[in-house]
Amino acid sequence: MSAEPSFEAYTWGHPGQMQMMPGLVQAPSHALPFGNGSIVDKVPQDMLFMVDPHWNQFPPLNPLMYSLLAFVITVMGFISVVGNFVVMYVFMSTRNLKTPSNLLIVNLAFSDFIMMVFMFPFMAISNFYETWAFGKFFFFFIYSSSLMCEIYAFVGSLSGCMSIWSMAMIAVDRYNVIVKGIAAKPMTYKKALGMILFVNTASLVWCTLPFFGWNRYVPEGNMTVCGTDSMSEDWVSRSYVIAYAVWVYFLPLLTILYCYFQIVKAVAEHEEQMREQAKKMNVQSLRSSEANKTSAEIRLAKIAMMTISLWFMAWTPYLVINFRGIFNKDAVTPLFTVWGSLFAKCAAVYNPIVYGISHPKYRVALYEKFPCLACRNDDDDDVDDARSTNTEIAGTTEKSEKA
């Protein structure tokens, strides 16, 4: 004997919120008129106009999946917020780390900090409620759910754009130091601040365009987070996704690849010159304390390459999801979008860990200020400032040519 169907799940355990609707025994007040048991059913009424009809066909995710996502993003959020705050504090409060180039690292940490301090509480709480949970009253102010969704998506897009272009500027700086050497114009505070101003202003312009009709910010497939609209079939919306992908993904990717290709090439040529000079002098190696400076610079380049690689590993799924939404939306499911959203936020967790483990002078400063967080090597005290490597590579090349 089958029992009568229960709709208590749609009311989050509050049967008093039920009301009679045509064609159904009962349905929640905020459900869609047809009450088809889809993932859209719990979405607040003032957000329904933002939801693409494509999502109506999918049932709600397993509650265990929502809980798992909430737990994972909470752990990631705390690690990222603490880690990026420590990076900003250490770099800005340590005298020998207050260099123009390190301002770019601080801007990277700032963008990651903003991303997670604003986004992880919203995503975690919404996953516990199994739908977007912010609107009406928020911190004693009255906001609509749709407006909160748009602000959330705007901040996520802005911080992500700032992050990747900060990494591109770091790659350009490394290129000038290692490849151009003493021929390059030295990085100054004015130049570093100009690069940061360009990155942040350009990111702000691109991310405000959806508010003026070029695309829009909407709930994503699992209805607990919001982002750019990649499901609309009009080419006005599609053109923004494509243009934004070129600006925030492909253009910085090409910049970074070019810079690091030239860096690896310059380092290989430098090592070859060192070996040839050693043969002429009938010694096994020319390595000395000065050569350690070059080694330190190469390590810093590897750190940046690792960080950038991890960033693209985190954001590439999001790019794939958006492009699938444009060209083959039938293949996009709510669970598919969940992982894209989660992996996109991993970049904000990677960066402080990578710099904390791999940056020698940062490790020294971290050990002094937060011994419990430090991972310090014995040779950290002997590592000179990486900015001196531009003269080292050029100087070694000049010596080998004279010999």
> Residues 338, 30, 39, CA angle at the centre, nearest 5°?
25
How far the first Cα of the chain sits from its last, in Å, is 96
pTM of the prediction? 0.79
Annotate 4-33 with three-state secondary structure. CCCCHHHHCCCHHHEEEECCEEEEECCCCC
Q: What is the set of domains in the chain, with CATH numbers?
A: 61-402 (1.20.1070.10)
Q: Above 50 in pLDDT, residue 387?
A: no
Q: What per-residue confidence (pLDDT) applies to 251?
A: 95
Residues 327-369 have pLDDT tens digits of 888 888 998 888 888 888 888 888 887 766 667 788 888 888 8
- Residue 206 to residue 202: CA distance in whole angstroms: 6
Helix ranges, 94-230 (H): 100-129, 145-175, 189-208
Q: Above 60 in pLDDT, residue 134?
A: yes
Q: Do residues 42 and 30 lie in contact, with contact meaning Cβ atoms separated by under 8 Å? A: yes
Residues 250-307 have pLDDT tens digits of 999 899 888 888 887 887 777 777 777 767 776 655 555 445 555 556 666 676 677 7
Please state the φ and ψ torsions of residue 333, each to the nearest 5 degrees.
-115, 160
Of 216, 30, 290, nearest to 135 (Cα)? 30
Tell me which residue has tokens 């080694």: 295
